[in-house]
Amino acid sequence: QKEVEQDPGPLSVPEGAIVSLNCTYSNSAFQYFMWYRQYSRKGPELLMYTYSSGNKEDGRFTAQVDKSSKYISLFIRDSQPSDSATYLCAMRRSNAGNMLTFGGGTRLMVKP
């Protein structure tokens, strides 16, 4: 079993929809949680960075962390075709140096 599980998709939604992307993990030591967006043939772009449980909002993006359930989410409001990309969750243990553990990525397609 992978440490971080993420549905690969693809997830197809109409423009303007609310998108929910999720990851589950097995290691309770993870404390730092990130969401990256990766366009085809490009490097990942950091979208959200959160520490421990709670919510964080940035524009149309909201990240949620529920450590009790070992579950993190990224919500995208008013989705746009330009949001079409692969979304990667990543997490890090506080005492494990700098190594990130990635989910497999979810491919999102927003149709106009």
Partner 1 sequence: GAVVSQHPSWVICKSGTSVKIECRSLDFQATTMFWYRQFPKQSLMLMATSNEGSKATYEQGVEKDKFLINHASLTLSTLTVTSAHPEDSSFYICSAKLAGGGEQYFGPGTRLTVT
Helical (H) or strand (E) element with 108: strand 106-111
Identify which of residues 9 and 62 has a Cβ nearer to partner 1 in the complex: 9
Identify which of residues 19 and 88 has a Cβ nearer to partner 1 in the complex: 88
19-25 and 4-6 beta bridge pairing: antiparallel
Cα separation, 63 vs 47, whole angstroms: 9
Q: Which tokens go with 80?
A: 């746009």
Under a CB-based contact definition with an 8 Å cutoff, are residues 84 and 110 in contact? yes
Quote the least distance from Cβ 78 to partner 1, whole Å. 26
Give me the residues that bind partner 1 (CB under 8 A), please.
32, 34, 36, 41-46, 49, 88, 92, 97-100, 102-105
Identify which of residues 8 and 81 has a Cβ nearer to partner 1 in the complex: 8
Quote the least distance from Cβ 112 to partner 1, whole Å. 24
Identify which of residues 97 and 112 has a Cβ nearer to partner 1 in the complex: 97
Quote the least distance from Cβ 17 to partner 1, whole Å. 24
Under a CB-based contact definition with an 8 Å cutoff, are residues 106 and 7 in contact? yes
